[in-house]
Amino acid sequence: MTRTGAGGGAAVATAGAIVLPLALAQFIASYAASNMNVAISTIADDLDTDVSGIQTTITLFTLTMAALMIPGSKLTDIFGRKSCFIVGLVVYGAGALLASLAQGLGMLTIGYSLLEGVGSALMIPPIYILITVAFDDLKTRAKWFGVVSGAAGLGSATGPLIGGLLTSYVSWRASFLLQVVVVAGIAFLARRIDDPPRTGERPSFDGIGAVLSAVGLFLVVFGILQTGTYGWTSARVWLLVAAGVVVLAGFFLYAHARERSGRTPLVSPSLFRNRTSNLGLITQNVQWLVLQGVFFVISVFLQQKRGYSAIETGLALVPATIGILLSSGMAQRMASRHPQRLLVRAGFTVTVVGIVLLLVLAREDSANWTFWPGLFLMGFGVGAMLTASVNVVQSAWPENVQGDISGVSRSVSNLGSSLGVAIAGSVLVVATAAGNAPFLTAIIVVGAFAIVGWVAALLLPRTPEGAHHA
């Protein structure tokens, strides 16, 4: 691959050819996480299941990505970035095709949750590593990181609208067929990506570490999912969560021992000893938790309480889409004028205000416009900090660990999406059973997490710990 600096028009065109398939891949993976929300009732009726079943498939999709993102990053180092990117596209496309043909929840889960999740875990880590090796100028590299991060926000923002249009006027299956077509197009464009060979010894793969991390994350999130069935006070729920925490603790102990013995662990525990990076990871996790959690709650409310169709639900979420698009479009300009930590703080502040407006204005029988101010501000706030949070984390580390921290960063973001749907869905079920206002309660809980993210943003130091500059 020709390393690209700032350059002129030709350099920009070459860079665009490299980045376009990478940004489209990030877009389609994020789209897949949000477009299902508007079709929950339609899919549940068609497959003879319930909202809880569809919630589980959505949660398992993002959980699969979260659990396998770090192993996927390691496989990228072993087998090559372009190779893993293409294989990921193929697996993702096969999963989307299988999901489009699903006649029951089981086949949908295999196609969407498992295969699309595995495909995403293989194709997303190479995106950020390929940009790192393609652009040696840090300012230019940050620009293209911003484009890819913006594509993630765009995919999440437009997912409900595009999914609603396809579900209402064609079929929910058409949304999966669209993904098949898009990934085929990405694979065609990706042939122009030239992946330079690795220098040095090929790293080994930590299979035990991969299993421990995946099982630990699965048990924690699966335990939270079970609260919808057994309640938050169930011993079964907390045994699952505790088991997940124990397995994750075992993973870190194993990784530490493996590193001390001179072998390469799946992820070095030292990556979690950087205060700036850790706080940045928290903000990444929470912003996706809030975005997907609110989208899920509002989507279920509109479909179950107001009887909205998929397209009506997608249109109702347009203010959030507009907010994300506006702030994402401004992200690069804002990043060049303001510190990244300031953008993250401002993003969370606007997001919290948006959620408060939802709580104050929106009611079960209120007019549609009462949802608009809160959704717009929430979307604008999240869009403003998507790229900034990534830059905070990545810039806290030198170039030689960018691949590892990129995998951790993507895993944490997808874990946030998974937790957002799992927590919001379980709160809806538990609050309903307890006779409380389920949708109000769920928004309050998600809002509490937004405040956690805001506090983490406030704690970001002025000078990043371990920062490097060029």
pLDDT tens digit string along 415-459?
Answer: 998 899 889 988 988 888 777 789 999 999 999 999 999 999 999
**CATH code given to domain 15-206+266-458:** 1.20.1250.20
- Read off the pTM: 0.85
470 pLDDT tier (thresholds 50, 70, 90): very low
pLDDT tens digit string along 3-60?
Answer: 555 455 545 556 777 889 999 999 999 899 888 888 998 999 999 998 888 988 998 9
Cα distances from 204 to residues 42, 74, 190, 358, in angstroms, run 45, 9, 26, 50
CA gyration radius, the chain:
21
Alpha helices (H) along 305-436: 310-316, 318-337, 340-361, 372-394, 402-433
8 Å CB contact between 73 and 125: yes
Does 381 score more than 50 pLDDT?
Answer: yes
Give residue 107's Cα distance to chain centre.
Answer: 23
Query: Within 10 A of 432 (CB to CB), how many other CB atoms are there?
Result: 15
Each domain of the chain, given as residue ranges in start order, spans: 15-206+266-458, 207-265
pLDDT tens digit string along 201-260?
Answer: 777 889 999 999 999 999 998 888 888 778 888 899 999 999 999 999 999 999 999 999
DSSP tag of 49:
-
pLDDT at position 138, please? 65
pLDDT at position 372, please? 94
Residues paired with 135 in a beta bridge: 4
Q: Residue 295 is encoded by which pair of tokens?
A: 């989208």
Count Cα neighbours of 233 within 13 Å in the Cβ-side half-sphere.
Answer: 3
Residue 223 — φ and ψ, nearest 5°?
A: -60, -40
Residues paired with 4 in a beta bridge: 135
8 Å CB contact between 388 and 456: no
pLDDT at position 118, please? 95
Cα distances from 14 to residues 4, 73, 198, in angstroms, run 8, 25, 22
Q: Between 296 and 149, name the one with better pLDDT.
A: 296
**d(C-alpha 115, C-alpha 208), whole Å:** 21
